[in-house]
Structure formats: structure tokens, C-alpha cells
Structure 1
């Protein structure tokens, strides 16, 4: 029992030793994330089901400045794989195929970050984010023809593999019906996590990070294939607005260029 009573005294030194009160810092990050494409029609009668989709943001760079122990401003550059996979289902609820949306962005969030004090501390961060598309495809793979229902209408869509949209200009030149993606996106990023000082200049971070973007992933304002002749239909759903949503776990290592005021107990190696 006595050894458990000693635990608070063993942990206290780690919590009481603060990092430098101010200075610039840089770092690298990686992130595993759950990615979604949110459709403004998704709560009405649709012909797809969301599938749990995991992507990876393999590489990110962080640069920031600590104004004091608590207040930071940082910018990041993150290569992020996004999109989502869906099951396509017919009027009877039977699976007829799959939709795959693959997107790769450079995400640039500008974040205000608040941190508590201590060698082990918590942080909260939020701010705007802009995104620049690097790659993108939307593909339907329908294993058979099916009958679908939307907004009270029933209609048929033939089977086949259909490239619906592409970032690649060559794909759009080969097929004029292949749509285009918006090359830019914008939204809000936010998260929280913990930081731990390895020494006075280096700390590790583990954050729960999410962002929601406001711009339609496609340039086309309205996509409605059911008005086409049956042989030309390639998608059983109607879309006005689809947006990116990402929630992930971000891990990073950061180096602080120590410019403390000389009063901080940061040098605790």
C-alpha cells in the first residue's frame, strides 16, 4: 500500500518541470485517420451505405512559435490521403457494387494552440485550413444491373466499371463524361492531445485531430444520372454537395529553438 502512496510524488517532478517559455519550433508528424465524404442528401433515400474507411497521412511538417508557456501559433503542411468507400445497394437493399473515392491533398492548417504547463501537458488547437488536391478518382464498380429508387422514382442502371471523375486531364480527354474535382478546399481543423518533453529542446506529441471542409469535392454543381437514357447511366444517386470529413490520431516529434527568458526551469535533462 505504501508504494501506491508514493506514486503522486514520483509523477509530480514530470508535471512540474516546464519547457522553455517561448521560441520557434519545427517538427514532423504522421497520422492514421478515418475519412468520410459527407453528402448533403445522405439522410434521404440514397442507394449507398457508408463503409468504415481508413487512410494515412504519411508525412507532415510543423512550424510554430511559442509566445509563452501557454500560447502557440503553428502552421502545418500535411500530405493526406482521403476519400471513402461505399456499398451500392438496389431497391431491395441488395449489394450491386461499390463506389470508391480516392483523394490526395496537401492540407495547410493555421492553428492557434493552447498548452498547459509541465513536462507532461495537454494541448488544445483549432484554426482554418486550406487544401490543395494532388490526385483524385471516383469510380463505380457495379457487378450487375440493378433497379434503384430515389425521391419516389424507380430506374435502372447497367452493370460495369465506370470512372466518374478524375484529376488527370488525359482521363477526361478519353471520355468527355468523366467529371472534374475542385482543386482547392477550405475548412476548419481542431484537435487536442498530450505533449511530453524528452529534453529541454525536444518534445513528442500525440493528438486527436479532425477537420471538416466546406467546398464540394466536384466542380459539377449537380450530378443526376437517372435523367439519362438507361444505357448511359453510371451512378444511381443524385449529388449536389459532397464534403471532406477527417478524424485521426496524429503522432509527432518537435524541436524547440530555446529562447527562454532565463527564468524557466526548462533545463531538466
Structure 2
């Protein structure tokens, strides 16, 4: 009987598992503050499991739970996992593309065939969403904040181009943001409006950095992955809206949040 195998991606917010059972891959994730419980679950589910780890907290798993675990560099695991999923989901691109991993923060990779390079990073990401969201709404739960954002209207917080020009015809789309959060306390708004404005600010920042990276490296396709996208429809809609207007094709992977764990699992 083959020894069970697992790939683990331990990041800043989540620990994600990919393991094989009965010739089928299974996926599981836990908050990083439940790491001990997650490892207990894995040991019960797959006794004597062979582990490969990646991510910023991979060393904790090696030190405290699986001393013999093989460690894979995070950038390598992420890009390899994305390439595997693109093939499995029949979304493979024959052209160089940007891989944008929106996790706690955001990383940009240039992927061309089997070559990849991390070209950019930003502190804007899911950590910004939950952290700033909790300060503005007193709610710390990711999915609660997502649902709240769907009920809000960023235009009650953000200063738009049309607000500046008022009755005059603006030279660009009047619904574009002139200044994030600029209306402040001058207008009536809700907690939902505040978190909707947070979503918009993060999305716009990621779009602008993606546009610059795409122009420098002359690519037209962007693969978006990361846990921040999961169930976050308003965030994805904003990303797609701006990226498509700027002439970039967006590709989402169904299991994109598990790219790191998948890359670790298939590491030889």
C-alpha cells in the first residue's frame, strides 16, 4: 500500500492541505491560528502521511510536527501549482502571462512556459480587507465582511470624477474614483458603504499595479488566484471590470487558492 502524501501551504492567514486518498485529491483549509488542530486532523485522516510544505510558516510545521517534511520555496510551489491547474482546467495559455496571487498580501509573477519570476509585491490584499474592515465595521470575520460589502455603496464614501465636475461633462468616465474615502464624514454613510469602499480601494490598487506590470512585460493575460477571491463577488467584479477595460484578459482557476499546496504536493 502506498504511503499517503500531502502538500501543505502555510501562509499568513490560512493553512491549506492537498492530500490523496483512494486515488483522489482532497482539499482542506484552516485558519492559521488553528494549525495544531489542522495537523491533528491530517494525522487522523492520513496516518503516516508523507508531507511536503511551503509558505511563510512552513518552518513551524517542520519544527513542531513533521521534522522530515520536504520544504519547497513558496514562489516555486505557487507557480507550479498554477501551471498544473491551468492544464487540469483546460485553461492553459500558450503565451506569457501574469500570475497574481491575492492572499494576505499580493504577489505578481511573470510566467513564460516553464520559467517564472516574481516581479512585484504589495501589502494590499486579504489582510488589508479583514484588518481595515474590522477597524471600520467592528467585524473581524472575512465572510461577514464580504456579505456586508455586497450591501454597501462605495459612492457614499469615495469621491468620484463626476463629483468634482458636478454638472459639467467630465473628460473621462465620471464613475471612476478620484480619491478613495475622500467624502469622509461629510456625507451620511453606513458600515456596509465603508467596507464596499475598502474593496474598491484594494481592487483598484491591484489593477493599477497589474496594468503597469503587464505593460512593462508586454503580456495580455492575467491569471488571478488566492483565498481573497473566494466568494468575494464584488471584489472579482471590480477586478474584471477594470482589467477588461484596460485590454487584459482575466482567467480564474477553480481551485486557485490551493496553488501553493498543489505545487508542494507534486514536488518531486
Q: TM-score range by the shorter chain?
A: under 0.3
Q: Which has the higher helix share?
A: 2
Structure ID, larger Rg: 1
Which structure dedicates a bigger proportion of its chain to strand?
A: 1
Q: Give the TM-score taking structure 2 as reference length.
A: 0.24
If the length of structure 1 is used for normalisation, what is the TM-score? 0.24
